[in-house]
Chain A
Amino acid sequence: MVWKYKDFLCIEGLTKEEIELIIETAISMKEILNRTIKKVPTLRGRTICTLFYEPSTRTRSSFELAAKYLSADTISISVSVSSVQKGESLLDTVKTLEAMGIDALIVRHNSSGVPYFLAKNLTCSVINAGDGMHEHPTQALLDVFTVFEKKKRLDNLKIAIIGDVMHSRVARSNIYAWKILGSEVKICGPSTLIPPGIEDLGVEINYDIDKVLEDADIIYILRLQLERQKKGLFPSLREYHFLFGITPERLKKAKPDVLVMHPGPMNRGVEISSEVADSIYSVINEQVRNGVVVRMALLYLLLGGGRIDETSYS
């Protein structure tokens, strides 16, 4: 099986086989990442550009390192020091970059749908590194890969997603991924942060955190954006922590082999206690490491799949 799309925009609509292909590819990439000399020549001569309209530590550096380990050239455009500040439109910005010969554009944007808009207007590959409240597909892939490493399976698991599902692209991508793979998803959070119609994606809504934690194999804790409180969506951070914060006491009721995950960055003491974040159940740092791995796999499938030979003629 080979990857057949120009772009990587979302998890929704992928098949089980396509996700498994990425995971299998990631397994061999992990082996590369664990070497002392990490560089392979697979994407030599290819150029990858990251364009981030939102702040990011892990996603951006993860993509850049993934590209570098595969020997691609990378450039990164920071919106704060680019011509965007002079009022250049999004389309003009990306057309400019494309004209310089990039092979793939990795984009993060606060407007949902931007990767589709770019894919429609560009001939290079477009990879979604998070768009608004829509999807963050590579995050879901690294989460799935992390679970696979620990649990050795991807189906018949019980996933509990806790927190601000409404504004979370991570939640949406994870819901799609786990449903495609044949696992069960429960979501739990303040009712004002549960989006309308989410049950149509095949998830169960439950507002009782302790019930949800009881039989979960994975506790996936979402980041709470602190400015949501100002909009009246919940009364206070204190009450949020009281109702939905994952504390050591709460974790006692969970299964002994439960995994605690968080996409980062964390608000320690709000959605997750430090004791939990740093506990033996937590795989948060593995998630970050695996971010590089799945992104290497994805870049390989999109840009280098079956064309490794090219490098020997150059």
Chain B
Amino acid sequence: MKLLIRNALLIHPEKDFEEKKDIFIENGIIKDIGENLKIDDLQEIIDGEGKIIVPSLTDIHTHLREPGFEWKENLLSGSMSAVAGGFTSIACMPNTSPPLDQRSSIEYIYKRSQEIGLVNIYPIGTITKEREGKELSEMGDMYSAGVVGFSDDGDCVMNSEILRCALEYSKMFNTPIIEHCEDTNLTQEGSINWGKTATILGLKGMPWTAEASIVARDIFLAQLTGGKLHIAHVSCWQSIEMIKWAKKYGIKVTCEVTPHHLILTEDYVKETNYDPDTKVNPPLRTKEDQEALWKALEEDIIDAIVSDHAPHHQDDKLKEYNLAEFGISGLETIIPLIITYGHLSRKLNLSKLLKKISYNPSKILNIPYIPLEKGNIANLTVIDLKKEKVVNPLEFFSKGKNTPFKGWRLRGWPVLTIVKGKIVFKEGKIINVQGI
């Protein structure tokens, strides 16, 4: 394979630096980066005008549903969805059935993802056995099998002593505890943010307090233990203030945000007349929260952007709002969403924005990050900033068609994904898939 991309904007998130250059890839290796490169016997030249190249796009919060919920998603459809979304690496959450709470499950994820051979999948193991929040799972054994983090995501570890033990114990592996912060006593039967919109729609609300109070508790537990804490999907300004405080005091805490919390508010539930695709946990919040999230992103209080890809079957969504499942299928829209709303609307710098979905998340979970450098294996994505397309869930590779962004016109779509030297996604098609 000999591929030359001319005049593309190369993004170097790890160096906060962008440059317009040619890049030449031969047999999966970046052979040269420079200006006006002259190469013989080229098989393909891509005009890079209006396109950017980003290394190692990484989404550290996805739900791939296998084993146990294969009608919603499996490792194959999830892998296809990931590379179509532009990702070279993803981490998957352990709330499967059975949950990923022991070595054999972790080994299965690695084995199956290597058979498929599209995207690098890094499993996250549970904090507690069966995700019951009662006893620590065999973290050490799972760590030696390759888990990159621990989480009971979907549920909060409500017992503070168990979470304290988890933060203390995981220090031995320098692996973060990823917390879904939600005091479930405050959110029971809730399906939307607590407040005016919930009142108008007559839906039981979930107050921000349910999240922020646990964020505060977890930060103190991280301070007490010195353990590494990563806070999943922050959604309210009060959580941001707590995290800001923690970072100021040098507590080992990182956090992430989803595009839907950045772009949508609770008002959208009303605008769409109870579209169940707007139902997500934590719920879509207010304009004030949204502004705080963007600001925190700019000020690096928020370290990472994640999709929280939560595919569901239509039978789990096409029903009464309060009975519909929580979650948004997000892998295939996250890049155009953050480019359209972060870069084009809010004028955020591309390398800063994309650092939060490449370099930063890979550091949080300590997973490989391969920069765009001569001699490195090509592990990169070409994004066409000029490409404009309407979101059509029926075109998703994911089995989950549940997105509140259906029908939205977005710009900046991935057009080429190369994972460890292999082209896996090109112009709307999955290439080189195995293990079907």
- List of B residues within 8 angstroms of A157 by Cβ: none
A258 to chain B, nearest CB (A): 28
One of A109, A169, A196 near B205 (C-beta < 8 A): A196
| A117 in contact (CB, < 8 A) | yes
A169 to chain B, nearest CB (A): 6
The answer to whether B205 and A89 have CB atoms under 8 Å apart is no
The answer to whether B196 and A132 have CB atoms under 8 Å apart is no
Given A116-B273, A117-B274, A111-B322 contact (CB < 8 Å)? yes
| B291 in contact (CB, < 8 A) | no
- List of B residues within 8 angstroms of A132 by Cβ: 202-203, 322
The answer to whether B320 and A90 have CB atoms under 8 Å apart is yes
**Stretch from A23-31, A197-205, A211-219, A264-272 contacting the other chain:** A197-205
One of A89, A90, A172, A197 near B196 (C-beta < 8 A): A197
One of B202, B205, B273, B323 near A172 (C-beta < 8 A): B202
Question: Which A residue sits closest to B272, measured CB to CB?
Answer: A116
The answer to whether B320 and A113 have CB atoms under 8 Å apart is yes
Q: How far is the CA of A255 from the CA of B17 in the complex (A)?
A: 75
- Interface residues in A116-173 (C-beta closer than 8 Å to B): 116-117, 120, 131-135, 169, 172
- List of B residues within 8 angstroms of A172 by Cβ: 200, 202
The answer to whether B194 and A196 have CB atoms under 8 Å apart is yes
One of A89, A112, A117, A201 near B201 (C-beta < 8 A): A112
The answer to whether A201 and B315 have CB atoms under 8 Å apart is no
| B319 in contact (CB, < 8 A) | yes
B227 to chain A, nearest CB (A): 34
| B318 in contact (CB, < 8 A) | yes
Q: How far is the CA of A112 from the CA of B319 in the complex (A)?
A: 11
One of B195, B196, B320 near A111 (C-beta < 8 A): B320
The answer to whether A113 and B203 have CB atoms under 8 Å apart is yes
Say whether chain A's binding surface is mostly helix, strand, loop, or mixed: mixed
- Interface residues in B197-221 (C-beta closer than 8 Å to A): 197-205
| B321 in contact (CB, < 8 A) | yes
Given A113-B273, A120-B273, A200-B196, A135-B202 contact (CB < 8 Å)? yes
A98 to chain B, nearest CB (A): 16
- List of A residues within 8 angstroms of B319 by Cβ: 89-91, 117
Q: How far is the CA of A113 from the CA of B275 in the complex (A)?
A: 9
Q: How far is the CA of A135 from the CA of B274 in the complex (A)?
A: 14
| A210 in contact (CB, < 8 A) | no
Q: How far is the CA of A112 from the CA of B200 in the complex (A)?
A: 10
- Interface residues in B94-144 (C-beta closer than 8 Å to A): none
A35 to chain B, nearest CB (A): 38
- List of A residues within 8 angstroms of B274 by Cβ: 112-113, 116-117
- List of B residues within 8 angstroms of A134 by Cβ: 201-203
Q: How far is the CA of A120 from the CA of B272 in the complex (A)?
A: 11
- List of A residues within 8 angstroms of B194 by Cβ: 196
Q: How far is the CA of A90 from the CA of B323 in the complex (A)?
A: 11
Instruction: Encode contact with B along A78-96: 1 for CB under 8 Å, 0 otherwise.
Output: 0000000000011100000
The answer to whether A114 and B199 have CB atoms under 8 Å apart is no
- List of B residues within 8 angstroms of A197 by Cβ: 195-200
| A55 in contact (CB, < 8 A) | no
| A195 in contact (CB, < 8 A) | yes
The answer to whether B196 and A196 have CB atoms under 8 Å apart is yes
Question: Which B residue sits closest to A9, measured CB to CB?
Answer: B273
The answer to whether A109 and B196 have CB atoms under 8 Å apart is no
- List of A residues within 8 angstroms of B318 by Cβ: 91
The answer to whether B199 and A117 have CB atoms under 8 Å apart is no
Question: Which B residue sits closest to A200, measured CB to CB?
Answer: B196
Question: Which A residue sits closest to B188, measured CB to CB?
Answer: A231
Q: How far is the CA of A169 from the CA of B199 in the complex (A)?
A: 10
Instruction: Encode contact with A along B183-197: 1 for CB under 8 Å, 0 otherwise.
Output: 000000000001111
Question: Which A residue sits closest to B315, measured CB to CB?
Answer: A89
B415 to chain A, nearest CB (A): 35
Q: How far is the CA of A172 from the CA of B197 in the complex (A)?
A: 13
The answer to whether B198 and A196 have CB atoms under 8 Å apart is yes
- List of B residues within 8 angstroms of A89 by Cβ: 315, 319
Q: How far is the CA of A275 from the CA of B274 in the complex (A)?
A: 42
One of A120, A133, A200 near B202 (C-beta < 8 A): A133
- List of A residues within 8 angstroms of B202 by Cβ: 112-113, 131-135, 169, 172
- List of A residues within 8 angstroms of B197 by Cβ: 197
The answer to whether A117 and B203 have CB atoms under 8 Å apart is no
- List of A residues within 8 angstroms of B200 by Cβ: 12, 172, 197, 201
- List of A residues within 8 angstroms of B320 by Cβ: 90, 109, 111, 113-114, 117
A269 to chain B, nearest CB (A): 28
One of B196, B203, B273, B315 near A133 (C-beta < 8 A): B203
Across chains A and B, which 10 residue pairs bring their CB atoms closest together, nearest first?
A197-B196, A134-B202, A113-B274, A133-B202, A111-B320, A112-B202, A195-B199, A116-B273, A113-B321, A197-B199
Interface residues of B (CB under 8 A from A): 194-205, 273-274, 315, 318-323
**A–B complex contacts, Cβ < 8 Å, 6 sampled:** A12-B200, A91-B319, A113-B320, A117-B274, A197-B196, A198-B199
**Other A-B pairs beyond A116-B274, A195-B198, 20, CB < 8 Å:** A89-B315, A91-B319, A111-B320, A113-B201, A113-B203, A113-B322, A117-B319, A117-B321, A120-B273, A131-B202, A133-B204, A134-B201, A169-B202, A195-B199, A196-B198, A197-B195, A197-B197, A197-B198, A197-B199, A201-B200
